């Protein structure tokens, strides 16, 4: 594919990264970084729904081999798990981190060091998990990591509840967007994460992400370099609106959208409080969801196969 470099290096050379950091810093004075619009001063001790100030708060980091195959490759995706969230889904499978606040506040230098450590371990990318409320921290740590030699793609692994203005700041910074599209029905979103506007916000966000990075592009070894991947966790009793979401992705984003139709739902967190969520997803329900994706015209469905078989 010829010479390639992550997009943030060019933004850094042109001075655009520093402008984005300054803009993100200002947003935290009266925070509307995400669609919750808490309007708190995160620089001076005020906390909104995400319960996060202006320093990074993380729970863990390391090579991850359970992500989508184009992210995992041979040596894993370099995940950094941020503490707290801007959605707080009732059934979150990382409940202790998102709801419980498991993790610790670190410095920007520490966050940059995590990125460099993961690159040194051979990870194919830096995968920011639940980053929507810590965009400023990511941007502010990035020049330190670039100075240390960072040169792998950045993955924005989010819940899909992202403000357009914040995504504009990430244009020219993020190489790979990995949003969830969780729910199609506003009432379901209201019931499960108290965000009735989630479906419309997610549609707008995914459109903008695709505008920035396009369809997923792989290198000669099948490892992702740039583009959009979408996750959709299938919920019991058709609660997620899988049919409508797949039609949206194929018809309004691209039939070449890479989609992971996930079948691993299990009751977590406070799932027992909802009549449909206190049970595991069945095999036939997952198979039906995959069929809906194919019928919508999507052909790039994650197959959960290790791409490093090419070494065998």
pLDDT tens for each residue of 195-232: 999 999 999 999 999 999 999 999 999 999 999 999 99
Give the pLDDT confidence score for residue 78 in this predicted structure: 98
Of the candidates 202, 207, 173, 184, the residue with the CA atom closest to the CA atom of residue 35: 202
Q: Are 172 and 132 within 8 A, CB to CB?
A: no
The angle that helices 135-147 and 16-27 make with each other, rounded to 10 degrees, is 150
311 pLDDT higher than 50: no
**Arithmetic mean of pLDDT, 106-126:** 98
Give the pLDDT confidence score for residue 2 in this predicted structure: 52
pTM for the whole thing? 0.96
β-strands 77-82, 57-64 pairing:
antiparallel
**Arithmetic mean of pLDDT, 39-46:** 98
Give the pLDDT confidence score for residue 304 in this predicted structure: 63
Give the pLDDT confidence score for residue 129 in this predicted structure: 98
**Arithmetic mean of pLDDT, 279-289:** 96
Give the pLDDT confidence score for residue 312 in this predicted structure: 36
User: pLDDT band at residue 309, thresholds of 50, 70 and 90?
Assistant: very low
**Arithmetic mean of pLDDT, 41-57:** 98
> H helices within 158-282, ranges in order?
164-170, 186-193, 198-213, 242-248
Backbone angles phi, psi at 109, to 5 degrees: -65, -35
**Right CATH for 7-303 from 3.40.1000.10, 3.30.420.40, 1.10.3720.10, 3.20.20.70:** 3.20.20.70
Domain boundaries, the chain: 7-303
Cα 70 to Cα 300: distance, rounded to the nearest angstrom: 11
Lowest pLDDT segment from 1-10, 44-53, 101-110:
1-10
**Arithmetic mean of pLDDT, 44-71:** 97
Report the 3 state secondary structure along 92-120.
CCCHHHHCCCCCEECCHHHHHHHHHHHHH
β-strands 154-158, 224-233 pairing:
unpaired
Give the pLDDT confidence score for residue 303 in this predicted structure: 83
CB atoms within 10 A of CB 276: 14
For residue 220 the two structure tokens come to: 């000669």
Cα 150 to Cα 9: distance, rounded to the nearest angstrom: 9
CB atoms within 10 A of CB 303: 9
Cα 161 to Cα 21: distance, rounded to the nearest angstrom: 21
Instruction: List the helix and strand counts (H, then E) for the chain.
Output: 11, 10
Report the 3 state secondary structure along 50-93.
CCCCCCCEEEEEEEECCCCHHHHCCCCEEEEEECCCCCCCCCCC
Give the pLDDT confidence score for residue 10 in this predicted structure: 98
């Amino acid at each position: 594919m010829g010479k390639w470099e992550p997009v943030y290096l060019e933004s850094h050379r042109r001075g655009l990264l520093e402008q984005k950091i300054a803009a993100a810093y200002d947003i935290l004075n009266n925070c509307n970084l995400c669609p919750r619009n808490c309007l708190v001063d995160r620089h001076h001790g005020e906390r909104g729904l995400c319960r996060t100030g202006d320093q990074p708060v993380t729970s863990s980091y390391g090579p991850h081999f359970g992500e989508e195959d184009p992210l995992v490759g041979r040596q894993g995706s370099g995940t950094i798990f941020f503490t707290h969230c801007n959605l707080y889904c009732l059934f979150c499978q990382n409940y202790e981190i998102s709801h419980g606040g498991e993790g610790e506040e670190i410095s920007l230098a520490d966050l940059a060091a995590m990125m460099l450590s993961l690159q040194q371990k051979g990870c194919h990318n830096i995968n920011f998990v639940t980053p929507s409320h810590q965009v400023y921290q990511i941007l502010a740590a990035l020049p330190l990591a670039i100075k240390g030699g960072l040169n792998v793609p950045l993955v924005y692994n989010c819940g899909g509840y992202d403000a357009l203005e914040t995504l504009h700041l990430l244009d020219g910074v993020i190489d790979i967007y990995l949003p969830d599209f969780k729910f199609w029905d506003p009432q379901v979103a209201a019931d499960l994460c108290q965000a009735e506007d989630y479906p419309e916000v997610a549609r707008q966000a995914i459109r903008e992400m695709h505008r920035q990075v396009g369809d997923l592009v792989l290198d000669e070894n099948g490892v992702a370099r740039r583009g959009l991947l979408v996750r959709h966790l299938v919920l019991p009793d058709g609660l997620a609106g899988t049919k409508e979401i797949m039609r949206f992705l194929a018809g309004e984003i691209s039939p070449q959208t890479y989609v992971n139709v996930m079948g691993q739902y299990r009751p977590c967190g406070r799932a027992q409080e909802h009549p449909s969520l206190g049970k595991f997803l069945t095999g036939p329900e997952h198979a039906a969801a995959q069929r809906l994706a194919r019928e919508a015209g999507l052909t790039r469905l994650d197959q959960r196969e290790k791409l490093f078989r090419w070494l065998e």
